[in-house]
Amino acid sequence: MELKTSYAFGKTVLTSYDETQQKVRDALAKEGFGILTEIDIRKKFAEKLHKEYRDYLILGACNPPVAYEALKREVNLGTLLPCNVVIYTMDDSSTAVMIMDPVAALGLVGNPQIEEIAQEIAGKLRRVLAAL
């Protein structure tokens, strides 16, 4: 099922959280993205708050050649990088994958050159979703 907000797009899948996580990593790599950061929210909430939470992983994905071009055009753009990809379990045991919409996020910059780059990245990220 497709999921959408004003700042992200994604879908739910019937594969397990672990299997989905691996598929997302593989699809990101195929599109030229590396993982710069990884935050296991469930683990952090347990450690820091002693609270239980669903499986919830935030991957900070970056496509270095595209990021380089974008930063050459807008040096402060780093405040909006990397592209976050979130994987979490749903209440019905399906798994959700949500991706920050680069068009929405980078549209804040107001630079037409950056908007073109955002469209390029959005296309790559949509292909990641399609591969799941």
Q: What is the CA radius of gyration of the chain?
A: 15
> What is the tens place of the pLDDT at every residue in 76-113?
999 999 999 999 999 998 999 999 999 999 999 999 99
Q: With bands split at pLDDT 50, 70 and 90, how would you rate the model's confidence at 125?
A: very high
> Average pLDDT for residues 17-26, to the nearest whole number?
98
Would you state the pLDDT for residue 46? Answer: 98
Contacts of 102 (CB under 8 A, 6+ apart): 83, 118, 121, 122, 125
Contacts of 56 (CB under 8 A, 6+ apart): 40, 41, 42, 86, 87, 88, 89
Rounded to two decimals, the pTM is 0.94
Would you state the pLDDT for residue 73? Answer: 94
SS3 label, residue 119: helix
Average pLDDT for the chain: 96
Would you state the pLDDT for residue 113? Answer: 92
Ordered by where they begin, the domains of the chain are 2-130 (3.30.310.70)
